[in-house]
Structure 1
Amino acid sequence: MKKIILTAALLHTVMSMYAQDRKGVADKKYLTEIKSLAEKPVVKKAFQTIVDMEPQTIANHILLTEIPAPPYKEEVRAKQYASMLKAAGADSVWTDNVGNVIALRKGKDGKKTVVLEGHMDTVFPEGTDTKVKHRGDTLAAPGIVDDTRALSVVLTVLTAMEKTGIETNANVLFIGTVGEEGQGDLRGVKNLFSDKGPGKIDTYIAIDGWMSAHVNHRGLGSHRYRITFKGPGGHSSGSFGLGNPHNALGRAIAYWCVAADSLTKAPGLRLTYNVGVIGGGTSVNSIPFESWMEVDMRSESPERVAACDQLLHAAVARALAEENKMKKSGANLTVDMKLIGDRPSGVGDTAQSLIQHMMAVITYMGDTPSLTVGSTNSNIPISKGIPAITIGTGGIGGNAHALPEWWVNDKGYKGIQQALLILLAEAGIAK
């Protein structure tokens, strides 16, 4: 494993990212409940089964990582994952209308439904080499930690329950979702909570990232836009005087960033803004016929996202008007603003049994729970007032969303044991 040295600048960046993390302390009632649950003979047996399954879990992890799952093209990985869930012993397995793979394990009374989920898609485009490289104790490949490790965790939890005969009171859905990343816009989990979903979901546990002491109970909301300025285009000299979409785009960026930056300095929950991608134009001596950008803004406060959104609209309108006023000839420029991402914000009440149980699980496993915010699949149920969290897989990872993504199996079984324990705490062990 490569040793990472934190420079002062990098340390500042890392601390800023987690500045709003909060240490959590579970109520004694939940600590007692989790200790009692973890010490049941059948749970101890399941814990050992998870340890014994380490070679198979790693093999599953590698197999799934090496099946590419680019944005909107998760079908091949989904087919493989469905067959693995079926082989693990689920009562029924199906793929829904958007591509989510869903496995049902029926509960004794079925009065409640609990979800344990990882997302199948990665950020990497079609053609990316996803072959896993073994570098000592490190596994490296695009997508190996975000979020393919979670798929192997979900699969091992199901298998351990089957091998040890654990029966729950609640129905449990083991799910691999599509569309968590980027412009997927959480389409998989949105479908689960639509009228095309599997029915009422009472508790939602997403697995994403590796930090097993984190309890993500706050949804970081975001708006994302693709903004395109359009004009007639022409020769840079012969058609000089036409409205230039690049000029308008540049103005819009400047106006929005200045206004949004002022908003970030106002008191309140953290707000971020970003111009992530820009494009357009055909040659250095041509007036472009279009110029576009993709932007996002994020906050766990829906009000702050809405305010930043309004500033964006105002900046675009001002830029368009100024460029059209400045042009000397030709048709007016036009602009198209397309919302390409809308992730709702929300905050889960820390008094909820799910959050209390998870903090107790982490404490029982010997760590200190940290209450965090993130933009994950749990945003959707949290925004709907449904108990939901996102937890880590365990182990150690890094370079998420980068080609040299890596993961080390540093007591990775503990993350799987935690996932099992929180699932049983919420689904209940049938007597």
Structure 2
Amino acid sequence: MSTLFLNARLLNPAEDLDTTGSIKIDDQGIIEAVATGAETIAAGDGDLIIDLEGKVLAPGLFDMHCHFREPGQEYKETLESGSAAAVAGGFTGVALMPNTKPVIDSPLGVAYIRHHSAELPIDIEVIGAMTVGSLGEALAPYGKYSSYGVKAISDDGTAIQNTQIMRLAVEYTANFDLLLIQHAEDKYLTAGGIMNDGAASAMLGLKGIPEVAEPIMIGRDLQLITWLKKHKLSGALPEPRYHVAHISTAASVDLVRKAKAAGLKASCEVTPHHFTLTENDLVAAKEKGNYIMKPPLPSEENRDALIEGLRDGTIEAIATDHAPHARHEKECPPDQAAFGIIGLETSLGLTITELVDKGVITLSRAIELLSTNPRRIMGLEEILFKPGKKANFAIIDPDLEWTVSDDEFGSKSRNTPFLGRKLKGKALGIYNKAKLIMR
């Protein structure tokens, strides 16, 4: 039985496509036919026909920065519950950070995740740890990662403080053409910090995290990459590919902007909570646990710089940093709260509400940030709406208004500051791995 999507708004930035049309998919999940404009596709006997009535059919969203907590902290999230959260948000793929217990720092850990996620409805990429145990002391086996098809490495949650170790990491990622994803943080500056350092933190009596802690590490890394490119690389080796996770300050955005202009293969992502909230939201919140994250919620000046980075193209991806925590880890004094919030279910709605509806970016650009670019940065195959290609779709109603409620969450955790918030734009379902899941 084939599946036929009719009367869709076909939106695919990879093909510069934004038109009305229909797509037919065979029972193996391969696109049979694509019709645009006045063209039609004939339905066969027994075909499943879905009239989208102008709703958007876009490439399945891809989140390149998630934490599903398995193995080791399944009380917060599992591969299955994280997958359910992804489907609810319109995501057909995610990349999982390695800071599980134990840390994913070997092919054995990669194989574990792949084995236990094979039957899930989304595609899961495993990001390997940059150093053994993410301790910043010895490099993980990059060559073995590469042979297992790992596309990226990161010590997310920390950053290599030893510059010599970081130099080696940069060189070896170039050797094996791995994407280096940096959680940029000078731990000596941030130690014990809870929120952005400034008047707000002083007023609340909470130790601050100086915003300079992020660009200091990015600047160091870019200097290493510039030096390596100039003095060490021959034409035989690819250049290092460097990506800044959850960027949060104006200085950081400016560093990446200048690195791009200088020809470095640098990119960065921003989370919805960093382009939506500021430290003032934490101050105003009665229960502050769900406003505690790393990097901390920015000042208004830095939040505005993030929005400008999205507007001018410096920031190439939106990623959630989906970080589930149990209630007792958030419903506590702010200086005892775990860092991070969940985000898969609210990412699309926040992007449309805060960026598209406010004229910062177009809907096509939003899909690029949420799907096309993350896959490109990770080195994954692009999604094309062409016969013979695998069908991988998000079905989106960009005009649907809804209120964030944990009753519909697929995640095991509920740690989000957006409960009760009214948003516009929601995923209605996905098609991936020859399966249609509609909500």
Give the TM-score category using the shorter length: under 0.3
Instruction: Give the TM-score of the pair, scaled to structure 1.
Output: 0.25
Instruction: Give the TM-score of the pair, scaled to structure 2.
Output: 0.24
